[in-house]
């Protein structure tokens, strides 16, 4: 997996992130595939939403360590994977009994391509976050879309 020039400061080493996910039960690592090939990684983490500037740790999953191989960027794979991550987080919430209502992430202000991919996946900006080692971040959130049952309002 190759990062585009300059992306290291935004995401870090994707393999270290995946390894950390395998060692920490609060993290759920995912491999992103396209046409049978690994093209990216991401991690969903419970109890860590404040790391992205969210107001509490328990009401949202944190999407972190998300990277698409530079050779596959610009094809909509990031947006599709981010949207799929939200659906997976909803399944995890149901299975694990968490109280999360959506997914939060932070994206560096100097990374407009990533912000656009998240917006295309239904995330909206909820504020500015001054944490992070690479400079100011935008906090972005997408609520779960819970299917409505017939006869409910």
Q: What is the DSSP string of the chain?
A: --PPTTTHHHH--HHHHHHHHHH-TTEEEEEEEETTEEEEEEEEESS-GGGGT-S-SSSSEEEEEEEE-GGGTTSSHHHHHHHHHHHHHHHHHHHHT----EEEEEEETT-HHHHHHHHHTT-EEEEEE--STTS-EEEEEEE--PPPPTT--
Instruction: Taking residues 19-34, report their average pLDDT.
Output: 87
Rounded Cα distance, 133 and 128, in Å: 15
| Percent share of the chain, pLDDT over 70 | 86
Q: What is the pLDDT of residues 48-58, one digit of tens each?
A: 999 999 999 99
Q: What is the pLDDT of residues 6-17, one digit of tens each?
A: 666 666 677 777
Is 60 exceeded by the pLDDT of residue 152?
no
Is 90 exceeded by the pLDDT of residue 89?
yes
Backbone torsions φ then ψ of 116, nearest 5 degrees: -60, -40
Domain ranges of the chain: 8-143
Rounded Cα distance, 115 and 135, in Å: 15
The CATH T-level fold of domain 8-143 is Aminopeptidase (3.40.630)
Query: What pLDDT score was predicted for residue 97?
Result: 87
Q: Choose between 144 and 20: higher pLDDT.
A: 144
Is 70 exceeded by the pLDDT of residue 3?
no
Rounded Cα distance, 89 and 144, in Å: 8
Is 70 exceeded by the pLDDT of residue 33?
yes
pLDDT band at 103 (very low <50, low <70, confident <90, very high): very high
Query: What pLDDT score was predicted for residue 20?
Result: 79
């Amino acid at each position: 997996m190759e990062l585009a020039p300059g992306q290291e400061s935004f995401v870090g080493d994707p393999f270290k992130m995946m390894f950390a996910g395998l060692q920490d039960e609060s993290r759920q690592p995912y491999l992103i595939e396209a046409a049978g090939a690994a093209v990216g990684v991401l991690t969903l983490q419970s109890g860590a939403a404040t790391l992205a500037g969210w107001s509490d740790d328990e009401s949202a999953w944190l999407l972190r360590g998300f990277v698409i191989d530079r050779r596959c960027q610009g094809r909509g794979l990031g947006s599709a994977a981010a949207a799929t991550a939200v659906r997976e987080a909803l399944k995890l919430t149901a299975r694990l009994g968490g109280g999360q209502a959506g997914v939060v992430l932070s994206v560096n202000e100097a990374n407009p391509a990533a912000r656009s991919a998240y917006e295309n996946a239904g995330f909206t900006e909820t504020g500015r976050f001054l944490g992070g080692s690479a400079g100011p971040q935008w906090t972005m959130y997408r609520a779960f879309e819970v299917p409505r049952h017939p006869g409910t309002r």
